[in-house]
Structure 1
């Protein structure tokens, strides 16, 4: 039976160009190396090398065996490496979700890229989902990490959410609105404006935060005739259907006509959280820790 050792010895001889150099590199006697190649040829029932006292040449069978044998050994090395990585929790697919208001800004994207560099065996599967839904998906094992807008209303016993940053809130207004010419707006001034996004009774996130801020000023956001909690709300705003209070990152994906006015002189903030399971597997936990450190 042909052994992997014989594969390795034969390839080492060809690459070294001589039996003596291969024997030195392999730390075995040249006579033992010659014996292994003779046994390999006997098993194959064909000559792989033609040799004299000073040199050798590959036969056609030897050339084929060398090329394919080398690939086989490389595949085995890769398999062993991957098996070790998997055993250490260092390789796999991580399912990352983010809400429509947590845009993958350069700050977040660069942090993800650097974290991936530190975990070469990891592949990210990225999708978009509302903040409240993310915690349920992670709780039930259909996702691993979530980038969401705080607060979340539902409490899941196995989920932890850590704050990884905040952004100032701005008012997104139509291009021809009188508000577009302002340098700053106060919440109290928006009581008669139509809001494109209002909170869902069972969901937290950005719209819930905005509604509570408005309630502190004595009013509840008046709904516009067209409502959206997705990034499409900016298109509705451009069309003049209403306004929205959004994090400043939304400027990166906004249609050209939407104007952004600082709110309360930049003193009102929206926090972003990173959600994971408390008992996440080692790969996910290590990736989350590294990502959170870069975003904190």
Structure 2
């Protein structure tokens, strides 16, 4: 295998065409540099330079060999740079899953923007999906990070959940409803209307939170049409098909015919959870967690 140090010596001498100046660039003395070039020529089996007391020129073989030597060294430099970036968590691929309502939160958008700005060489894949599927996808390696409304199962020892925020829940009401004229509404008042939510088999963490909230207050939601996206749910409210209970960030969906009102009940919140593998060692995952925690501190 060709010695890379000798290749670098050859490249510098070919640029300077002067052993003294090349030695200065390489921070070495001229005799050792001459020995390195001679050793490389012996290794290759042909002369690289024609030398006399007045000039140094590339031989025909040296001219033909030069672009290959340069390409090898450029590839080595690129490999070293990529290695450093991988070790620092600044290059590679990161897959982040998120529940649909989370995409509307400031934490989500600000974190993605900040991460992409800080780590432009990272290929970031964003996958929207139900909270219930994220733990399995993280364990299987299909996702690196999950942003969820659903706590991992109690027996799931492989997933770590960090609570980033507890977001207030609000009521989404048709604007022509009497409830829209109130400053706030109670769950009891909402329970008189069909409750639009995600499909039962969708695996929504938000559904679980809302159903538990209704049960805690001795209420049973009336059946209503369902939507697989938070946007679909709000559209169904606008169409007069019922009411919805959504995270506060959903108020960013300004829809004609829909009015948002706070819930009167204390503790009506939905968590925003960050899910990772417990023994995660990826510097990219650590970098993403650092960015999202910095985003929270700056809120």
Bigger mean CA offset, 267-276 vs 103-112: 103-112
Q: What is the CA RMSD across the aligned residues, in angstroms?
A: 3.6
Listed one character per residue, the Cα deviations across residues 114-162 of structure 1 (whole Å, up to 9, x for unaligned) are 4466667643222012112112222333322110014455641211211
State whether structure 2 residue 246 is matched by structure 1 residue 207: no
Distance in 2 (alpha carbons) for counterparts of 1:135 and 1:287: 20
Note the alpha carbon deviations across 1:20-79, whole angstroms, 9 max, x for none. Answer: 221012233324434544665677787766776566566787566444533321211221
Aligned residue number for residue 72 of structure 2? 72
Query: In the alignment, which residue of structure 2 is the partner of 1:6?
Result: 6
Deviates more, 1:270-279 or 1:170-179: 170-179
Match of 1:126, SS state, is: strand
Q: Distance in 1 between matches of 2:202 and 2:52?
A: 84
Q: Structure 1 residue 243 and structure 2 residue 272: aligned?
A: no
Which residue number corresponds to residue 189 of structure 2?
Answer: 189
Residues 194 and 242 in structure 2, CA contact (< 8 A), matched pair in contact too: yes
For 1:255 and 1:155, locate their aligned partners in 2 and report how far apart those are by CA, in whole Å: 41
Q: In structure 1, what is the Cα distance between the partners aligned to 2:222 and 2:122?
A: 45
| 1:215 Cα deviation after fit | 2.4
Distance in 2, Cα, partners of 1:249 & 1:286: 26
CA separation of 1:48 and 1:180: change in aligned 2, threshold 3 A = farther
SS at match of 1:185: coil
Report the Cα distance in structure 2 between the residues aligned to 1:65 and 1:181, rounded to whole angstroms: 82
Pairwise CA distance, 1:193: 1.0
- Which residue in the other structure is 1:163 paired with? 163
Where do residues 1-296 of structure 1 align in structure 2 (5 Å cutoff)?
A: 2-16=2-16, 18-34=18-34, 36-37=36-37, 65-83=65-83, 86=86, 92-103=92-103, 105-115=105-115, 122-152=122-152, 155-197=155-197, 200=200, 203=203, 205-224=205-224, 226-231=225-230, 232-253=232-253, 255-264=255-264, 268-283=268-283, 286-287=286-287, 289-296=289-296
Q: Which stretch of structure 1 is more off in the superposition, 141-150 or 42-51?
A: 42-51
The 8 Å contact of residues 198 and 221 in structure 1, kept in 2 or not, is answered as no
Give the 3-state SS of the residue equivalent to 1:103 in structure 2.
helix
Q: State the distance in 2 between where 1:293 and 1:40 align.
A: 53
TM-score (norm 1): 0.80
Q: SS of the counterpart of 1:195?
A: coil
CA contact (8 A) 2:90 2:284 kept: no
> 1 CA distance for matches of 2:104 and 2:69?
45
Deviation at 1:249, TM superposition (A): 1.5
Distance of 1:58 and 1:52 partners within structure 2: 12
Change (3 A) 1:2 1:209: closer
3-state SS, counterpart of residue 103 of structure 2:
coil
Q: Quote how far apart the aligned CAs of 1:176 are.
A: 3.4
